[in-house]
Chain A
């Protein structure tokens, strides 16, 4: 009996503990395995911060800000409320927390961020994001724009370059939203698009129209934008967002918060010019362009990237020639008194070379710069074809027609001659830039189309002289000039003239004539029995 009891106890102990060990330890292993997957950080709130969080939570004040902070890398690294909202007596934004005797800073500024992120703040303050926007002719613009609109308009976006009483410049949370300060959100194209949007510089629209933006949308769900591109590491995503080209690093480029480091053109300004912004610090435009090209070449062949950017460079140079024409007319019409400048107490509030709001040529000139002129240029730089074309050059040309028609109506004989002229070349009252071919390939027959190619046998010689001149003026690099010259010398190839694809072209011509026949029958020649309701 004793033996049986002993055996039973043994069996029971072995059985129960086997089951217990298996179940509990597998659950433990499972939980721990899950931890390796979540890697969810533990947030510790300690010291004074505990009081802030408790009180804010109890009173329901900015509770979500605390939730956002808990998602931040700051929270994981135990960087809490008072680390950023720290203040000294006399600070411009210092106030006493009404529930305690803590002195709190209302506006953590870049100076506070620089306590830890010194390099980033320095880079930012050397960028055009930190540019003081109100410097340029804004007294003129403020005539047209009422203050409350400026508050929620200009000032909201340009707050990114805020000059604080503590002498720091910028607003880090313009891109890294409070209080997550997320890298991923800062990289999301829509963050840039909060400001870089709309008729004056539709960058987000241009981006989303481009192949870059299109593929981004297709792959967006798979992308994790919360990465660091430090120390010459490869770009970890396969499609560029805005920051990839303008800020992030790759194998050859360091990451930068200076968005101006890679820009070779001031193409937002009234005249396109090669950048001189802090060139003693960050190099001349060629250096800046080489940085951008180094990023392009992470994905593109050098030939494609260089050819693409060179073509877009000519769009900028062309823009200047168009603007020269607009300014010539507004100046002329102002000088001869047809346009009257806004004036009060001996001070002018419109400028024939920049601003003006109540005369058609002024409006056309302003828009040909500030709206369609930028769309024309930026569409070209960032692969937004529609913005270079229909929202760009077509709107510019429309403005030119309106301006000259207005001048003719006011009796300007030169303008009258232009209006009455039937010469097709009248729409190019400015010098031209061009490049044989395009970055994408050889199009065999399309280059037989442009009017100037056919009407001017010396067209390419004229262009050659213009391009040579801008090269001599250091607006193109040596390498770019060589690339252009190579294309020029072999233009029969790049323009596709020396290739014959007539039989294939004929096939499409036949299809096209079928379309013409179809719409002629279905629409043009269709006669309805009812008469119009309004009789002409």
Chain B
């Protein structure tokens, strides 16, 4: 910055540069990063963030052409895919990005879970993390309904139907979400609003708070190794993150080119397809719901979400009460194996 411009700038924006750089240095450049973060699978916290930014960017581009009305939605997605310059690529990145974002969150949560990164005093950040997962999955669900093809329309219908099972408030919430009894034009505009406005804003706020918490507490060191050596955030970890970001973009682009998302058949509310199924990240839930009564299944998963959200407190309680130290290894491993098994099982059954 030239001296003249700097003084002009500082007159208009009286920032205490000395103080700012000290703070910046403390919370950004010199932020101590524990040595175990040099393993890639310990350093995946930034991936959902990078993917979120990619999703926001590609999502904004998609709204240039997307029309949230039943008559035009499918056509506009076809137009984006087939006519708009690079449209298939932007749409592909957005679709694959949503898939990878869910995977990235699972990886990040897995790492935090096994290393008990959520342990005192970082429990609230875990709760925020679970909330972010739920918001992300809702974003995926609303996003999937945007395409308005047969599969997505009926997945939306069946998916939202489940809300009805919630006692007392289920029916009014369902009515509010759908804008009526059925999935109609009202539902699409509501979901569009949720997908591009409300939910990303909530997610963005949660991300900021989550990062502030990480910075305030510092990155959790490995358990039993509180004296672990650290290194500065900048330059190594910063470039590390940048490389992961670029790698993700390359992977996304490659996946989009090798397997661009298709269009399916335009939604027809009068013809129920023989097989209705959700996106793959709901397969495990879907699989269980097929085998148990719907109400029971919904209560079970509601309980599961509550346990997951407040796991740091449950974990602490169990450890204190029964003196077991490795319970999270078993719970984590079993959950992941069961999740993978049910997901793959659903694919094979199909």
Contacts and interface: CB of A to CB of B under 8 A. Distances in A.
Interface in B315-350: 329, 332-333, 336, 340, 343-344, 347, 350
Interface stretch (A12-20, A178-186, A322-330): A12-20
Interface in B282-317: 283
Nearest to B341: A24
A348 interface: no
Given A6-B223, A14-B41, A29-B280, 20 more contacts: A7-B222, A10-B222, A13-B114, A13-B329, A14-B110, A18-B44, A18-B111, A21-B107, A21-B110, A21-B336, A22-B107, A24-B340, A28-B280, A30-B255, A32-B347, A37-B259, A38-B262, A39-B264, A42-B275, A77-B271
A143 interface: no
B329 to A, nearest CB: 6
**3 A-B pairs with least C-beta separation:** A37-B262, A36-B262, A18-B41
Contacts of B96: 29, 33
B264 A25 contact: no
Contacts of A10: 114-115, 222-223
Interface in B264-289: 264-265, 271, 274-275, 279-280, 283
A3 interface: yes
Interface of A: 3, 6-7, 9-11, 13-15, 17-22, 24-26, 28-39, 41-42, 44, 76-78
Contacts, number: 109
Contacts of A38: 262
A6 B39 CA distance: 17
8 contacts: A13-B332, A32-B347, A37-B261, A38-B262, A39-B262, A44-B274, A77-B274, A78-B274
- Which of B41, B44, B110, B115 has the most C-beta atoms of chain A within 10 angstroms of its own C-beta? B41
B343 A25 contact: yes
Contact of A21 (B260, B263, B271, B340): B340
Given A13-B329, A37-B260, A42 B103 contact: no
Interface in B235-279: 255, 259-265, 271, 274-275, 279
Interface residues of chain A: helix, strand, loop or mixed (majority): helix
A488 B119 CA distance: 96
Nearest to A44: B274
Contacts of B232: none
A17 B224 contact: no
Contacts of A22: 103, 107
A37 to B, nearest CB: 3
A24 B99 CA distance: 12
Nearest to B151: A36
A98 B108 CA distance: 65
Interface string B42-63: 1010000000000000000000
B6 interface: no
A77 B268 CA distance: 14
Contacts of B343: 24-25, 28
A43 to B, nearest CB: 9
Contact of B41 (A15, A24, A29, A36): A15
A271 B39 CA distance: 90
Interface string B94-111: 011001101100110011
Given A17-B114, A18-B110, A22-B107, A33 B259 contact: yes
A345 to B, nearest CB: 63
Contacts of B224: 3, 6-7
A19 B103 CA distance: 11
Nearest to A41: B274
B262 A21 contact: no
A37 B91 CA distance: 14
B225 interface: yes
B224 to A, nearest CB: 5
B340 to A, nearest CB: 5
A29 B340 contact: no
Contact of A32 (B36, B279, B329): B279
Contacts of B107: 18, 21-22
A288 B339 CA distance: 63
Nearest to B228: A7
Given A25-B343, A26-B103, A13 B333 contact: yes
Contact of B42 (A14, A30, A31): A14
